[in-house]
Amino acid sequence: MKKGNLFVVSGPSGAGKGTICAAFAQRRPEVFLSVSATTREPREGEVEGVHYYFLGEEEFKEKITQGDFLEHAVYCGNYYGTPRGKVMEVIESGRDVILEIESDGAMQVRSRYPEGIFIFVCPPSLQTLEARLRGRGTESEEVIAQRLEKAVQELGRAHKYNYLLLNDDVEAAVRRLEAIVDAERCYMPRNIGFINDFIKNKEK
Ligand code: 5GP
Q: 17-27 and 170-186 helices cross at what angle (nearest 10)?
A: 60
Expressed in angstroms and rounded, the spacing between residue 4 Cα and the centre of ligand 1 is 22
Distance in angstroms (rounded) separating the CA atoms of residues 115 and 86: 18
Q: What is the pTM for the complete model shown?
A: 0.95
92 Cβ partners below 8 Å, 6+ apart?
1, 3, 4
**Substitution candidate for ligand 1 out of 102, 122, 129, 132 with most atoms within 8 A of CB:** 102
**133-192 pLDDT per residue, tens:** 888 777 788 888 988 998 999 999 999 999 999 999 999 999 999 999 999 999 999 999
Mean pLDDT for the chain? 94
**72-101 pLDDT per residue, tens:** 999 989 999 999 999 999 999 999 999 999
Can you give the pLDDT at residue 18? 95
Q: Which atom of ligand 1 is nearest to the CA of 13?
A: 10
Can you give the pLDDT at residue 117? 98
Domains by residue range for the chain, with CATH: 6-34+96-203 (3.40.50.300)
Expressed in angstroms and rounded, the spacing between residue 195 Cα and the centre of ligand 1 is 38
**33-60 pLDDT per residue, tens:** 999 999 999 999 999 999 999 999 999 9
